[in-house]
Structure 1
Amino acid sequence: MSQCLKEMINEHPMRPFQYLAIGVCIVLNMIDGFDVLVMAFTASSVASEWNLNGAQIGLLLSAGLFGMAAGSLFIAPWADRYGRRPVILCCLALSGVGMLLSAHTQTPLQLALLRGLTGLGIGGILASSNVIAGEYANKRWRGLAVSLQSTGYALGATFGGLLSVWLLTHYGWRSVFTAGGWATLATLPVVMLCLPESLDFLLARRPAKGVAKLDRLAIQLGQPAPGAFPAATAAPQAAQRSALLQLLSAQTRRTTLLLWGLFFLVMAGFYFVMSWTPKLLASAGLSAQQGISGGVLLSVGGIVGAALIGLLASRWRLETVLSLFMLVTAGLLVLFACTASSVTFALALGLLIGLAANGCVAGLYALSPMLYGASVRATGVGWGIGIGRIGAILSPSVAGLLLDDGWQPLHLYGVFAVVFVIAAAALLLFLPRPEVRQPGALSNA
């Protein structure tokens, strides 16, 4: 029965409940996109109220990313032990409370701590929703499904940016955090009603009361309810080790370390662009609202980019498409550094950079679940995202320090263009071919 159900998901056309599960994951990423970038949207207003310098702004931008790193590293692996769905529910509650409390902070330290708390929940949500979107897509469209799930981040950032402009004008920066907090908590009933538990998790972990969930999934797949888990087979010795040790075993160490390096580089470049662009455009002579508009256009382009890389990956190798997106991003960043003093060019290039940079992140999100088996998939994805968050933490802070040291704002884009070039070279040169990946991992269709 287990092979029958998994084959139904992998080989047969998508069913409505599979689309619904992926749709819920898109909504989760929309919430995350707004929650993550709320600090970028409000940075200028917060800095003005508290008279903050560049390094202090950078630390506030990094605080949420630090929490996201911790959530991806230490909370996301719980999804391999307790289930994807309960982890997502707990993390949603944590993020919503963190956002609401952030609206009432009185000092930069309080805001930084609460941004860390919010990020902790976001880190758990991102890894778990990314995994479950891939697990409910069929083999042919798995890369596209995870990429479309990533468009939720850009959608949330786009709508969040537009809402932020209006809220900042009428009610101040605290209202932006309040709106984000209530939107996050409102997602809880949607997840409870519409997001099923992962079939891969149920078959791998056989949790208590999991048979009823397995029966419901079987019926939704057009199969008779099995009424019990399939007969257990002897687990290989590797399965008895911790998930992290399995990721670093001789069989998967090279792939895991490369994935960590790619996430580190791409996230460093991506979060520099997304976090600092509104502020740097204002520093380059544009108005604060034009700066925010540039940040919004980055996200608008990201909606197209995340979907585009998924469509291309359904026809060509995802690794090749992803490396091309990295090189295009690098070229656009160099061009942006040369022309961003013009409002028209800055906004147009912001749209294209958002397309390419978000495509890079979506491509990594689509690639990472394909490299690991079900028993360690959330851990593998979580640790990849967590290591990436370290790069995301460092890049805004380093940018703030360089600005305080006298660097011209737009010159920083050239520095991070080099980061994307290094990532593309590493991906092309060192990623193992699909046929030598871990047995049981998802194949790239």
Structure 2
Amino acid sequence: MQSDNSLRWTLDHGPWTGFQRRAGMLAILAVVLDGFDIQLLGVVLPALIKEWNLPREAFVPVIGLGIVAMSVGTAINGWLGDRFGRKLTLLASMIVFGLGTLMTVMATGMPLFIVARLIASVGLGGAMPSAVALLSEFTPVRRRSFMVTLGMICTPVGGVLAGLVSAWLLPVYGWQSLFLVGGLLPLVLAGIMLVALPESPQFLASRPGRRAELERFAARLGVAPSPGDLGATAQAGEAKAGYGALFAGGEWKVTLLLWSHFLFVLTTAYTVFNWLPTLSTATGFTVAQGGMFLAAFNFGGIAGALIGALCIDRSGSRRLTISFGLGAAAASLVAFGTFGVGTPVAVLAGTIFFAGLFIAGLQPMLFAIAAAAYPVQLRGTGVGTALAVGRLGAIASSYIGAVLIGAGAGAFFVFLGAMMMAVAAALWLMPRHVPGRQGSK
């Protein structure tokens, strides 16, 4: 049997075994169900407005408080993942959002509906940091950033599935059927993961009391941990855990820059998600054309994320993400100069597609940077807090967008361009990026 150094080398540079791939796929499935559940409210909202005879404004608190609850869940569960394990916190998150979603089925009015969605939102926010950490720690270095980026693409995939399932169930079985499916699926997957998903080996190595689990994991890869190395890793884990470690030593610069990345990108993306159709109709386009512009932005985001997933491990993240930030600024300024009813709709849709490619396509790559920037013992806390800060931008976009709509299309797109220029600058200043295969940044 080999040493603990061999275990680490095997995890980082050895074969990508079927055992590791299956573990990664379970984490990705959790992200898909997370995206499915997040999109349910938007899908059933028209049915709820009609059945409960309420105005759209009555659901604003559900949406706003839900994002706040998701942010709280993200920050808390990232820390819990570093303290108690990625698997445990991912299972807990899925159980919480599964049970919260099932509670929604029993709602006959707003009070229980709000409570149920808040509970579900805490779990929804908590699933992402643990899933990102597991994807990173089960995947060899040469495919690590690809898998993390690919996993993040699965959030909109879950949203697409929610739309498809709703088209099948909603007309026949009502809105409750969607929440029933959305609540049962994560509970079923949690049961499967309880048996089939191992704990992160890097986390186990930081906990001497769980040595037996680490040895069983290592045996699946044909290596064995060394007691001396295990002890050293455990001491490092104890030294690094906690929110204070995000600002200890040189971590403060990494932390603040990551927060700015997530804040600027999510503010920009959610401003488009929430307000582009409204801007379109205010500018003179039809409702259908506004929906087409938003679809173009989303399809661009998926294309950009796929490009990033394929390129980031080979070329590294520095030049790639800075180029995306500058590309987003350029596309926004092109839209500033052309967005109006006098421009052919196809030209505008193409411009917005490229804006989505660079803006929404950049977002998944931020998770890969965050996972690579922090040491193992701080990874869940670091990713979780960065995403929580980013979601503050999602909340702020609700108010920013309303102001920009009043100022006109020019102000809207200038704001997007300025935000993405700020992102490019922050990415240039970032001291830690995903290295390329040849060691380039």
Question: TM-score category by the smaller chain?
Answer: 0.7 to 0.9
The 5 Å alignment of 1:21-170 reads 21-44=23-46, 46=48, 50-52=53-55, 58-108=60-110, 110-168=112-170
Deviation, structure 1 residue 142: 1.4
CA distance in 2, matches of 1:62, 1:300: 25
* Amino acid paired to 1:82: F
* Amino acid paired to 1:431: M
* Amino acid paired to 1:319: R
1:222 aligned residue: 222
Deviation, structure 1 residue 364: 0.6
Higher share in helix: 2
* Amino acid paired to 2:165: L
1:439 aligned residue: none
Deviation, structure 1 residue 107: 4.4
Is it true that 1:419 corresponds to 2:419 in the alignment?
yes
Q: Which moved more, 1:150-159 or 1:273-282?
A: 273-282
Residues 196/237 of structure 1: CA separation in 2 closer, same or farther (3 Å cut): closer
* Amino acid paired to 1:326: G
Is the 1:332–1:352 Cα contact (8 Å) retained in structure 2? yes
The 5 Å alignment of 1:242-257 reads 242-257=241-256
Deviation, structure 1 residue 220: 2.1
CA distance in 2, matches of 1:182, 1:291: 35
2:271 aligned residue: 272
Residues 20/292 of structure 1: CA separation in 2 closer, same or farther (3 Å cut): farther
Cα-Cα RMSD: 3.5
The 5 Å alignment of 1:184-333 reads 184-206=186-208, 208=209, 210-223=210-223, 225=224, 232-233=231-232, 239-240=238-239, 242-277=241-276, 286-287=286-287, 298-333=297-332
Q: SS at the partner of 2:314?
A: coil
Q: SS at the partner of 1:197?
A: coil
Is the 1:30–1:153 Cα contact (8 Å) retained in structure 2? yes
Deviation, structure 1 residue 287: 4.7
* Amino acid paired to 1:357: I
* Amino acid paired to 2:125: G
Residues 86/141 of structure 1: CA separation in 2 closer, same or farther (3 Å cut): same
CA distance in 2, matches of 1:111, 1:286: 33
CA distance in 2, matches of 1:190, 1:296: 35
CA distance in 2, matches of 1:12, 1:336: 47
1:273-320 deviations in whole A, cap 9, x for unaligned?
3345566667765457x7667656654444432231122212323022
Deviation, structure 1 residue 90: 0.9
1:347-403 deviations in whole A, cap 9, x for unaligned?
655654443333211111000011111111111111111111111222124435766
TM-score normalized by the length of structure 1? 0.83
Residues 160/110 of structure 1: CA separation in 2 closer, same or farther (3 Å cut): same
Residues 325/61 of structure 1: CA separation in 2 closer, same or farther (3 Å cut): farther
Q: Percent identity?
A: 26
* Amino acid paired to 1:391: G
Is the 1:69–1:389 Cα contact (8 Å) retained in structure 2? yes
Is the 1:300–1:351 Cα contact (8 Å) retained in structure 2? yes
1:388 aligned residue: 390
Q: SS at the partner of 1:196?
A: coil
The 5 Å alignment of 1:422-437 reads 422-428=422-428, 430-432=429-431
Is the 2:206–2:237 Cα contact (8 Å) retained in structure 1? no
Q: Which runs of 5+ in 1 are unaligned?
A: 437-442
Q: SS at the partner of 1:423?
A: helix
Q: SS at the partner of 1:141?
A: helix
The 5 Å alignment of 1:403-414 reads 406=406, 412-414=412-414
* Amino acid paired to 1:84: R
CA distance in 1, matches of 2:175, 2:410: 26
Is the 1:59–1:396 Cα contact (8 Å) retained in structure 2? no
Is the 2:316–2:433 Cα contact (8 Å) retained in structure 1? no
Residues 59/435 of structure 1: CA separation in 2 closer, same or farther (3 Å cut): closer
CA distance in 1, matches of 2:366, 2:64: 21
CA distance in 1, matches of 2:228, 2:202: 12
Q: Which runs of 5+ in 2 are unaligned?
A: none
Residues 298/20 of structure 1: CA separation in 2 closer, same or farther (3 Å cut): farther
Is the 1:325–1:357 Cα contact (8 Å) retained in structure 2? yes
1:440 aligned residue: none
Residues 17/236 of structure 1: CA separation in 2 closer, same or farther (3 Å cut): closer
Is the 1:33–1:155 Cα contact (8 Å) retained in structure 2? yes
Residues 426/86 of structure 1: CA separation in 2 closer, same or farther (3 Å cut): same
